[in-house]
Structure 1
């Protein structure tokens, strides 16, 4: 693992090697730990890297069964990915030349997974690390002005097309083509929605921070920088603004009362999360387990082929 050059860094994931486990396979080692032991270890360290266990595509299923006993579908997910098998997916299929900024999975939804597990099937020729960041450190790194501005929460807006348009369709997003099922999901999510001739518009009011249910740690917990055009970079943002007004973007975010979030706030959030992040540099067979509240993650640019699989659980 490598770290960004930040003098006051106070956290790094816990690495567990096959030698430390006495040479046992990872599934067996996790069985020795037990479900409670694994939970305690993850809560204490926030992220765990299992290295040198020789996990293969054929042997990853029993490992995931130990790490994530109740794997969840990626319903309402906004990033492009492919279902590999069951509730096991490819990691975000975003162009490899771009950085994916720090975020907690599905934290814009009413319910989010408690854990994520990543498995390295193919490591990139260069780059491609998965950066992880302590959400409490990220929150503390932001200027008081920014933290105060977000205290009232934020509003996420999605414009999901019916099969033709920018971004994901509502069918892909909700993994169904049944409108009634989508409406049931959104009602349970305390979201607002409106069907139009070309798809559906979804609006969700959410908090910008949350507290961990066990440790009580307060963490930065929103995707304002990923949903705001300023977080995409000047060139991409300009292209969007040239095509559409903000209220028609595939996804957009404002403060809770609908007022715009300043670009400078968004770039500060994005940049400080990435500056604080610790890079998990992948080797084939590595497994990364993270607490999805205490820890945010992202992706560094890469060259060559890279295949990281991900699963999530409650």
Structure 2
């Protein structure tokens, strides 16, 4: 390991482990070779720390990022069933824009595609243009620690009931909506305009679906999942659901805290707008929102429990300021990620591994 330096943050936080080059060995060719030779060691460090950040290497293009990720994980997935708009990067086979949601909109902490029966086991990000303003971090949070810090009664209710996901999609993307979770149409979500294909995908993932609307081209998808998972390798219990993402109470909390950091009139204005959206969203039935997370029995999670979850996440939240060329590899069965609002330019790209079946199904616990 004489060719690289390993360290943790100056404040002692061990998420992520930081790897930097020695003696000018910062080329993509060098990093590609190092990862190829040390893939097993790297896997061990990702499990130990939750994530490994490569910093100081000359990663300038999406293709450079794809080269190094493929040396660690030769099988990347191009299947995406999330709700954030994203697009394949030119010159790559499996590198996408991280999210194309409006820059002022905060993305809550989440384990990628945790609402699916088989999410990716690992996820990879790279910063090609770092944000110039306050914010824009891809925040990390250890969801094993979040599970640990939750009140036992809150944990018990989720363990006993599980979670219900309700997703509503129109046919086409919607740029103007009071519900930001409804921006992405089902054609973009499934990568197909064929209803039969969409229906088969729903059946494959045990998702109930119903078509509605004047042209019968709006789809409502409902399915249930366990709220807690045990890590497939360490067996550590992990908070593993999407309630903290598609909940307007959470979104306004993220923006309120960002306003305190940024001290910007622009973000205060955006916060007021989000509060208005939250108020308007209160008039929409939960089952009609773009994406709603409920208890597995269909009942609404109390606001005080949502706030408690938010507090547990915020207690363990890690802010890592992006630098140009940063590439991070994350254990997606333990470490969540989110996005802080920002202004100006910022470009972060993402890849993820093949789907991995969750250890626990809804029927195992609920």
Same fold (TM over 0.5): yes
Check whether the contact 1:47–1:290 (CA below 8 A) recurs between aligned residues: yes
Aligned length: 308
Partner residue of 2:231?
212
Structure 1 range deviating more: 255-264 or 53-62: 53-62
More strand by share: 1
1:112-127 map, 5 Å: 112-126=119-133, 127=135
Deviation for aligned residue 1:92: 1.7
Which residue of the other structure, out of 2, 15, 18, is the alignment partner of 2:21?
Answer: 18
Q: Alpha-carbon deviations, 1:127-186, whole Å to 9, x = none?
A: 211111111111112122221221120100011112265421111111111222212211
Check whether the contact 1:30–1:38 (CA below 8 A) recurs between aligned residues: yes
1:14-163 map, 5 Å: 14-19=17-22, 25-34=30-39, 36-57=40-61, 58-84=63-89, 85-126=92-133, 127-151=135-159, 152-163=161-172
Partner residue of 1:232?
251
Q: Kindly indicate whether structure 1 or structure 2 has the higher relative contact order, using CA contacts under 8 Å at least 6 residues apart.
A: 1
Task: Measure the CA separation in 2 of the matches of 1:87 and 1:306.
Answer: 20
Deviation for aligned residue 1:110: 1.3
Deviation for aligned residue 1:23: 5.1
In the superposition, the TM-score normalised over structure 2's length comes to 0.79
Task: Measure the CA separation in 1 of the matches of 2:200 and 2:23.
Answer: 47
What's the Cα RMSD here? 2.2
Check whether the contact 1:229–1:252 (CA below 8 A) recurs between aligned residues: no
Task: Measure the CA separation in 2 of the matches of 1:38 and 1:12.
Answer: 14
Deviation for aligned residue 1:74: 4.0
1:235–1:20 CA distance, 2 compared to 1 (3 A): farther
Check whether the contact 2:36–2:72 (CA below 8 A) recurs between aligned residues: no
Check whether the contact 2:154–2:305 (CA below 8 A) recurs between aligned residues: yes
Which structure 1 residue ranges, 5 or more long, are not aligned?
none
1:299-314 map, 5 Å: 299-314=339-354
Deviation for aligned residue 1:199: 1.3
Q: Alpha-carbon deviations, 1:11-65, whole Å to 9, x = none?
A: 421111112996562111101203x232222112210000111112052231121
